[in-house]
Amino acid sequence: MKSLIILAAASLLATAALAKLPPPTDEAKAKAAEAAAKTAWSGKVDAWQLCKSQDRVAAYYYKTAKAEGKPTAAAAEMPACVDPGPFVYPPPAAPGVAAAAAAAPAPAQAAKKP
């Protein structure tokens, strides 16, 4: 009974602490977006590695089956394994910088004025 009361009190305190957290900053949002992009890239790498290993297993099977004289079905046409390449995360441009650059006059226009 005592542990149940302690658990209930702890859960009430935890929800109260979570209710007072400030909203995430732009930096935290950027880090979260980068983490999501890296997770998606890791999934693509995992799928590529699985595809390559399946190709090796199938090639070994067909090679040994042919050597033993066993009949094998024709290999199904599967799409080639696509290497996702290295992880590259282009950080999004800051909206304030882009707006300031658009509002500023071009240097060629400023030079023409007497």
The pLDDT tens digits for 10-64 are 887 777 666 677 889 999 999 999 999 999 999 999 999 999 999 999 889 889 9
Confidence band for 110, pLDDT divided at 50, 70 and 90: very low
Best CA proximity match to 32, nearest among 89, 82, 81: 89
Which two structure tokens, joined as six digits, stand for 33?
Answer: 């977006």
Which two structure tokens, joined as six digits, stand for 32?
Answer: 């979260």
The residue assigned the tokens 């090796």 is 56
Which two structure tokens, joined as six digits, stand for 49?
Answer: 């590695």
DSSP 81: P
Whole-prediction pTM: 0.57
The residue assigned the tokens 């707006």 is 99
